């Protein structure tokens, strides 16, 4: 994200405490995706995959 809001930064930091069920990265690694050439890119338009954010919130609760 180029200009993340405070909430987005907080969600990203929270998401980093767990692994991602969508893209398969481990804790502390940013979410990403592969493009059609197989190159890895970090997600920029949202803090992390939604299931990861949900999992992190449940793990914290």
Among 50, 44, 40, 38, residue whose Cα is nearest residue 14: 50
Q: Tell me how far apart the alpha carbons of residues 31 and 46 are, in angstroms, rounded to a whole number.
A: 9
**Which one among 31, 47, 55, 56 touches Zn ion, defined by CB under 5 A?**
31
**Which one among 14, 15, 16, 20 touches Zn ion, defined by CB under 5 A?**
20
Q: At closest approach, how far in Å is the CB of 52 from Zn ion?
A: 5
Instruction: Single out the segment in contact with Zn ion by CB under 5 A; choices: 1-9, 34-42, 43-51, 53-61.
Output: 43-51
CA 31 centroid distance within chain: 4
Residues that bind Zn ion (CB under 5 A): 20, 22-23, 31, 49
């Amino acid at each position: 994200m180029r200009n993340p809001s405070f909430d987005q930064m907080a969600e990203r930091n929270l998401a980093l405490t767990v692994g991602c069920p969508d893209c398969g990265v481990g804790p502390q690694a940013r979410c990403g995706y592969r493009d059609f050439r197989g190159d890895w890119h970090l997600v920029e338009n949202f803090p992390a995959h939604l299931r990861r954010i949900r999992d992190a919130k449940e793990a914290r609760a």
